Structure 1
Amino acid sequence: MKKTSREFIRFVIIGGINTFNYYAVYLLLHTLWRWPYLPSHVTAFFISFVLSFFLNSYFTFKVKPTLAKFLKFPLSQAVNFTASSLVMYVLIERFHISSIVTPILAVFVALPATFIVTSKILKKESVSA
């Protein structure tokens, strides 16, 4: 199996862990604490973002996490965040789909592009030592 294929499989596994983490935090904030869906989404996304950086560094791409990579990592999540936020908004506001299920649907929209950008950022060697 090609290295990229193995990395993608690990990326999907880590994505599953991150999705579970995100969704647990989202539900806690949105359903138990009665926060509106958008602040719940943003907060849960940030928490899972930090976890994602370390899990993808160590497990998916097997690279050492650095401050430089961590500072660039938000670029990889910009596509993910923008797409998932837009999908959530459209599904909730336009199609009146439950705000409880829309985060899960939104995850699948951004997966391929997020993998490509994350791979490029985490596998690129830092210029400064």
Structure 2
Amino acid sequence: MKTFKLLLAAIVLLATTSAAHAQSDKSQRTIGIKTQNIKVLGTCDMDKRRIENSAYKIDGIKSAVWDLNTQTLTIKYSVFKKDAPDNAQKTIASLGNDTEKYKADDTAYMNLPECCHYRKS
């Protein structure tokens, strides 16, 4: 009877551990995730917030971090959404920030707050 209780306790412990591991944070998973660095121009924390938020809203993008010093957006995206990096660049450019592939429309750029203007006249 004691052996049966120990075996039952081991099975319950194993099932609990497996279920907890299966529900781990998805942002920590790396299988099926690619990382890409994209050059995005900007000057301030308002740019950072705009760039990261707009990229993160794109279907397939799991994380987006823009570095002000290097002017680089690092995105992690699903390998099943191959167009996610391009869609992120289009969206960012449509909001007024130039990317390595797309230049922002002059109207969108001029609608940015004054502190976000990075182009030299």
TM-score, structure 2 as length reference: 0.33
Which entry has the higher C-alpha Rg, 1 or 2? 2
> Quick check: which one's strand share is greater?
2
TM-score, structure 1 as length reference: 0.32
> Quick check: which one's helix share is greater?
1
